[in-house]
């Protein structure tokens, strides 16, 4: 029989959300009638805005017409959509030629691993979205999981705590080739300021490092003083790639559509173009995003589409306010939720998996243990504001009762 890919064997045995699913399944096996409310995985729950659905439907019907049918598109995406994103999302500060349409930010994060090869070093925020580390390990960028520390020895972990406003101090950390930054952050809900991003860009220039900036939740930022893109910082186009998505902005988690920005100013140490290598990878591994999804994307960035998507995001932020009020009334400190759909709760020294189990079995609530996002996440619990309003209201009451007891 064929040998197993040894790199995958370096992954931790239990991926965070797989373990959550297993514990949820265990409860339901004992209590099939348990009325579970999921505040865990960040999946959207509200319908896609009507103007976008209309565009998706129209394009689907066109594919059934002999005169309007279209097959493969350009691997880099429909030009009109690239131009629309440049205009509406970046106010034309980024060229459409530097924007590449994809099937989502998560697949792009995986494909980016191929771009830089197995010997590139990396730093990740701690806590951070598990995919950054998992895709790195799968492609052989690091080995040696240390079960005592809960870390991979070859990865630089950048502690992000309330004490440092969830912003890593790169000057106190070893230099790496790649620096993963997510803002608004999953899981903490923190949004980095212009000044904080300016410092990160400065260090990247100084160290000749490259920032991979995950802006998938930028649509939730309501504070006009906060940056929605790393390219709002001067010089970022020389040291940063940005990935983003329609998933949370417009409810496209099941439609799958996103984009990456790979500026032409980016070069490897030998002077060769990062963008040209990215085009090679995209053209080889990817046959373009769905024609239907891209039609929906065009509708999503129309004036009406953006307005309806804002209403959708505001709905989830209102959910976050309801949950925050319940958590804080029980005497707990809560971060995030104002410019991001996640609440990061300080659980007063309790182990996060222990509180997860207590809320699961006593309150029938599914949450996400902070320990699953990295060592610094221990002592915190992530709550997602994605959900139906009546369930969020009920969950808030359950939370208040469980945390107060």
Distance CA 128, CA 14 (A): 16
**Omega cis (within 30) before 202:** no
Q: Is residue 225 annotated as involved in ligand binding?
A: no
Distance CA 28, CA 183 (A): 35
Q: Is residue 401 annotated as involved in ligand binding?
A: no
Q: Is residue 186 annotated as involved in ligand binding?
A: yes
Residues 6+ apart with CB under 8 A from 152: 10, 133, 137, 142, 143, 144, 145, 146
Q: Is residue 132 annotated as involved in ligand binding?
A: no
Six-digit token string for 127: 């806590």
Q: Is residue 335 annotated as involved in ligand binding?
A: no
Q: Is residue 246 annotated as involved in ligand binding?
A: yes
Q: Is residue 145 annotated as involved in ligand binding?
A: no
Six-digit token string for 64: 């059934």
> β-pairing, 368-369 with 365-366?
unpaired
Q: Is residue 398 annotated as involved in ligand binding?
A: no
Q: According to the 3-state scheme, what is the secondary structure of 147-196?
A: CCCCEECCEEEEECCHHHCCCCCHHHCCCCCEEEEECCCCCCCCCCCHHH
Six-digit token string for 403: 């945390």
Q: Which of 404, 178, 218, 386 is nearest to 310 (CA)?
A: 218
DSSP state of 95: -
Q: Is residue 316 annotated as involved in ligand binding?
A: no
Q: Is residue 72 annotated as involved in ligand binding?
A: yes
Beta strand residue intervals within 31-167, DSSP E = 37-38, 99-102, 122-126, 145-146, 151-152, 155-159
Distance CA 344, CA 346 (A): 7
Angle between helices 291-300 and 79-90 (to 10 degrees): 30
Distance CA 383, CA 342 (A): 6
Annotated binding-site members for pyridoxal 5'-phosphate: 72, 105-106, 129, 186, 217, 245-247, 256, 287
Annotated binding-site members: 15, 42, 72, 105-106, 129, 186, 217, 245-247, 256, 287, 382
Annotated binding-site members for substrate: 15, 42, 106, 129, 186, 287, 382
């Amino acid at each position: 029989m064929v040998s197993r890919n040894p790199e995958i064997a370096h992954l931790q045995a239990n991926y965070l959300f797989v373990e959550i699913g297993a514990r949820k399944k265990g409860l339901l096996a004992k209590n099939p009638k348990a009325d579970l409310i999921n505040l865990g995985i960040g999946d959207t729950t509200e319908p896609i805005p009507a103007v976008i659905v209309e565009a998706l439907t129209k394009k689907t019907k066109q594919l059934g017409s002999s005169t309007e049918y279209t097959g493969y598109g350009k691997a880099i995406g429909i030009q009109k959509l690239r131009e629309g994103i440049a205009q509406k999302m970046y106010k034309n500060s980024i060229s459409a030629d530097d924007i590449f349409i994809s099937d989502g930010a998560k697949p792009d994060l995986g494909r980016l691993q191929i771009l830089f090869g197995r010997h590139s070093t990396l730093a990740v925020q701690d806590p951070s979205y598990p995919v950054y580390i998992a895709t790195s390990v799968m492609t052989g960028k690091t080995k040696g999981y240390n079960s005592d520390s809960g870390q991979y020895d070859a990865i630089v972990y950048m502690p992000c705590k309330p004490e440092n406003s969830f912003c890593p101090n790169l000057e106190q950390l070893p230099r790496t080739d790649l620096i993963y930054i997510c803002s608004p952050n999953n899981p903490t809900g923190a949004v980095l300021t212009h000044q904080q991003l300016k410092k990160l860009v400065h260090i990247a220039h100084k160290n000749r490092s490259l920032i991979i900036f995950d802006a998938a939740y930028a649509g939730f930022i309501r504070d006009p003083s906060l940056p929605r893109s790393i390219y709002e910082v001067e010089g970022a186009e020389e040291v940063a790639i940005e990935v983003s998505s329609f998933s949370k902005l417009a409810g496209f988690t099941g439609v799958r559509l996103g984009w990456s920005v790979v500026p032409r100013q980016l070069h490897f140490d030998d002077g060769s173009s990062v963008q040209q290598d990215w085009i090679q990878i995209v053209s080889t591994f990817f046959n373009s995003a769905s024609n239907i999804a891209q039609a929906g994307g065009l509708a999503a960035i129309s004036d009406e589409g953006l307005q309806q998507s804002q209403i959708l995001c505001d709905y989830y932020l209102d959910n976050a306010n309801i949950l925050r009020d319940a958590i804080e009334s029980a005497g707990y400190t809560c971060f995030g939720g104002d410019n991001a759909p996640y609440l990061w709760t300080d659980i007063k020294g309790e182990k996060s998996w222990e509180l997860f189990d207590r809320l699961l079995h006593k309150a029938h609530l599914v949450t996400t243990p902070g320990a699953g996002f990295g060592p610094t996440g221990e002592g915190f619990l992530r709550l997602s504001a994605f959900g139906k309003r009546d369930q969020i209201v009920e969950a808030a009451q359950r939370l208040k009762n469980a945390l107060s007891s």
